[in-house]
Chain A
Amino acid sequence: MSTHTLSVLVENKPGVLAHVAGLFSRRAFNITSLSVGPTADERVSRMTIVVDGASTPVDQVHKQLEKLVRVLKVVELEADAAVERELALIKVHVHPALRARLLDTAAAFRATVVDLDPRTIVLEAVCSPGRLDALLAALEPHGTCELVRTGLIAIGRGAGTITDDDPARAPGAARQEEQVLLGR
């Protein structure tokens, strides 16, 4: 699956999330994950949207998002030029015989125990996208009974920021600019 990560700055106003979510359903775009939260500027929220490039025309997603009046900026973050993380809370069955192995697995993925019960433990894991899948696979034999994921968040590497005016300095933006001009 070729996923694309879009960082979207939006006005922090009522209805904006509904507009963005509505755009995706109306245009039959598939979202893999969407996370939203405040930024350093209280007037602005930041969404990180992961879309599946195989089923969804990413260039159209980008342009249609930019058409929404409350959307301030859309930047596609390239995986190798960005730090991508996801937080997961995972409730796992504890079989007394496998307890040590479970804690070893958690430690190997730097997942920490945040709740303990005689029958279950809750792990907190902060991972890059592939790593979380690997952790979940490793926990499978123990029996995962509940899973919460935040969805991916991402930030560009280096000194440039998403609010830079110069599109060339904003991570991942130069390519998009070129796409608009050449139409492909």
Chain B
Amino acid sequence: MHVTGAQALVRSLERQGVDIVFGLPGGAILPAYDPLRSSSLRHVLVRHEQGAGHAAEGYAWATGRVGVCMATSGPGATNLVTALADAYMDSVPVVAITGQVPTRMIGTDAFQESDITGITSPVTKHNELVTDPARIPAAIAEAFHVASTGRPGPVLVDLPKDVLQATTTWSWPPELDLPGYRVPGPPDPALIARAARMLHAARRPVLYVGGGVVKADAHEALRELAEAAQAPVVTTLMARGAFPDSHPLALGMPGMHGTYAAVAALQEADLIVALGARFDDRVTGKLAAFAPKAKVVHADIDPAEIGKNRVPDVAIIGNLRTVLPDLAIAVRELAGRSGPPGTGEWLATTAGWRRSYPLRYTQRPDGPLKPQHVVERLSAMTGGEAIIVAGVGQHQMHAAQHYTFTRPRSWINSGGLGTMGFAVPAAMGAQIGRPGELVVAIDGDGCFQMTAQELATCAIEGLPIKVMIFNNGFLGMVRQWQELFYEERYSEVHLGTAIPDYVKLAEAYGCAGLRCESPADVDTVLEKALASTDVPVVVDFRTHDAEGVFPMVPAGAANDDIVLGPEFTAAEQEAAARKEVIVP
């Protein structure tokens, strides 16, 4: 059967099970937009291609499926680059389709030409410039396979205009031509057994849980493992929600702005079981001083993560979907045979740390509005059941710290790349992927202004996302670093709270706009915002500009030098440095 390359593209996406494409057309990709009209695909017309990329990411985070974005050549394609780099750092399965100038013009500096496969090669798992229309179905099928298997990641397929216009024959399914692509097989049972013995024998174990657990949908097995091993659990920024925060074994988030209990537990552990985590610098602090007493079991789907930062004692390469259940069963059997794990004293210590050094802030009824208070009220009012999407900065950390997560895929953020402007478009993608659910973007005023144009898309597409702007008039995290490390010399961080008027801006975009300036109004405003189901809502929370994020391990410092912050006394800080429990 004869079709155009463009028809082959659209059919391939249909056969691949794609239901949604985020994109924006232009010259070189025009042929693809014609058959799109009559296809089963829903196309969401974004206002900026970066929005399409982050929306595809948000969709993928929220659903576990591959997110798809589409753009034209040149600037359309380069506008996707930030989102692709973001997806690459956070292992988000995304397929990007880009138009390209006709093959005969490639290399001539043609209008809207850019070498997008060259540009994105360091930030994609794979990419391909397709020069033969007959290869389109295979290129698309390969892109989805590579994006979604193994360690997930973004794949870009670049399609020259003449390739889209040419006639070719259609057949499906195509044969995948990926002789060099390998996905790890089942984990080695001997290594599972060894890890289980170490975990069962450990006196101070910690399960260090990363985003891989969420991607493998292995949260249930994680819970079984934690309970069988009676081991406390820390969930990284990428893994918030993988283990319920209300669970007695949960210590919260580790790292630069992690809880004291999570940071101290890793430092004092005799065994760390790293599950789909990569010993990121924001978690380890000064690497040489990280968890000095711990042996390490490292389970990951990507062999290249093994030994990259910390050399493990046991490495298990495999999909956590299998590794975690196997490990849980092995530990349970050991416990059944040779008695329960001896972690009682350790659990008393970690629980003592939790009580002694909680996340602390003070919200005075008549004082400035604290961002932590807004997150806590949101958490309480949504029962921890909302899908929270964050940008990057103080608001992101406050959200990750203070929202009580109950389930996986309810926390979406830019972890590795730290992309300001992620929240609004990612929330849009998440809302499309999970239409009946409450999607709340927690954003900073700096972040919000980078991608706010997608409010128009949300309003027109009927996506009732809630955007909570923590408007402190500053690039808050940068301000905090200038306060702490540049002797309060605030350089180019003041944005001002009044311009733009976020309520008017929301209304101009067809959204509802609300403002909250006082702690007393938080509940009322949140109730009103959460009740809206027809239009997107933007809330301008005027939050305290001098509020910092604590605890904090300064960049490059050892985790042992964690700073509890101004809410703790000098005596408490000293006790914390000695790892003492002061509230038994």
Q: Using CB atoms and an 8 Å cutoff, list the residues of chain A in contact with chain B.
A: 10-11, 14-15, 18-19, 22-23, 26, 59-60, 63-64, 66-73, 180-184
Q: What is the interface of chain B, defined by CB distance below 8 A to chain A?
A: 117-118, 121-122, 125-126, 128-129, 146, 178-182, 188, 191, 298, 302-304, 306-308, 311-312, 314-315, 317
User: In the assembled complex, which residues on chain A have CB atoms less than 8 Å from the CB atom of B298?
Assistant: 183
Q: Collect the chain A residues with CB atoms within 8 Å of residue B181's CB.
A: 69
A126 to B289, alpha carbons, bound, how many Å? 49
Whether A18 pairs with B121 at a CB distance below 8 angstroms is yes
CB contacts (< 8 Å) of B121 on chain A: these are: 15, 18-19, 22
For residue B469, give the distance in angstroms from its CB to the closest CB of chain A: 35
Contact of A183 among B118, B126, B302, B311 (CB under 8 A): B311
For the complex formed, measure the closest distance between the CB of B179 and the CB atoms of chain A, giving whole angstroms: 6
Q: Flag if B146 contacts A183 (CB, 8 Å).
A: no
Given A180-B303, A181-B191, A184-B311, A69 and B122 touching (CB < 8 A)?
no
Q: Which residues of B contact A18 (CB under 8 A)?
A: 118, 121
Q: Contact at A184–B307, with CB atoms within 8 Å? A: yes
Inter-chain contact B146/A69, CB cutoff 8 Å: yes
Given contacts A15-B117, A59-B307, A67-B304, is CB(A181)–CB(B180) below 8 Å? no
Whether A183 and B312, one on each chain, are in contact in the complex, defined by CB atoms closer than 8 angstroms, is: yes
Q: A141 to B317, alpha carbons, bound, how many Å?
A: 55
Contacting residues, chain B, for A22 (C-beta < 8 A) = 121-122
Chain B residues in 8 Å Cβ range of A71: 180
Chain B, Cβ-Cβ closest to A27: B122
Q: Is the CB of A70 within 8 A of B180?
A: yes
Chain B residue with Cβ nearest A69: B126
Closest CB in chain A relative to B230 CB, distance in Å: 26
Jot down 13 A-B pairs with beta carbons below 8 A, ordered by A.
A19-B121, A60-B308, A66-B304, A68-B180, A69-B126, A69-B178, A70-B180, A180-B303, A182-B315, A183-B307, A184-B307, A184-B311, A184-B315
The 5 closest A-B pairs by CB, nearest first: A183-B315, A63-B304, A183-B306, A72-B180, A69-B126
* Residue pair B302, A67 in contact (C-beta under 8 Å): yes
Partner of A69, one of B117, B180, B312: B180
Residues of chain A with a CB closer than 8 A to B306's CB? 63, 180, 183
B303 touches A63 (CB 8 A): yes
Residue in B closest to A22 when the chains form the complex, CB atoms: B121
Alpha-carbon gap, A23 to B88, bound state (A): 14
Residue of B nearest to A63 (CB): B304
Q: Which residues of A contact B129 (CB under 8 A)?
A: 14-15
A64 to B303, CA, bound (A): 9
Which residue of A14, A26, A66, A72 is within 8 Å of B122 (Cβ)? Answer: A26
Distance (whole angstroms) from the CB of A36 to the closest CB of chain B: 15
List the A residue with the shortest CB-CB distance to B298. Answer: A183
Q: How far is the CA of A67 from the CA of B121 in the complex (A)?
A: 13
Determine the distance from Cα of A148 to Cα of B92 in the docked complex, in whole angstroms.
45
* CA gap between A68 and B312 in the complex, in Å: 24
Q: Which residue of A lies closest to B296 (CB)?
A: A183
- Identity of the chain B residue whose Cβ is nearest the Cβ of A183 in the assembled complex: B315
A26 to B314, CA, bound (A): 28
Q: How far is the CA of A14 from the CA of B306 in the complex (A)?
A: 30
A11-B180, A181-B317 known, 15 other contacts, Cβ within 8 Å: A15-B118, A15-B121, A18-B118, A23-B122, A26-B122, A63-B306, A66-B304, A67-B302, A67-B304, A68-B180, A69-B126, A73-B180, A181-B315, A183-B312, A184-B312
A68 to B128, CA, bound (A): 12
Report B-chain residues with C-beta under 8 Å of the C-beta of A10: 180
Docked-complex contact A183 and B314, CB < 8 angstroms: yes
Interface centre among A69, A180, A182 (most CB of B within 10 A): A69
Residue of A nearest to B131 (CB): A14
Minimal beta-carbon separation of B486 from chain A (angstroms): 28
Shortest beta-carbon distance from B212 to chain A in Å: 15
A97 to chain B, nearest CB (A): 52
Which residues of B sit under 8 angstroms from A11, Cβ to Cβ? 179-180
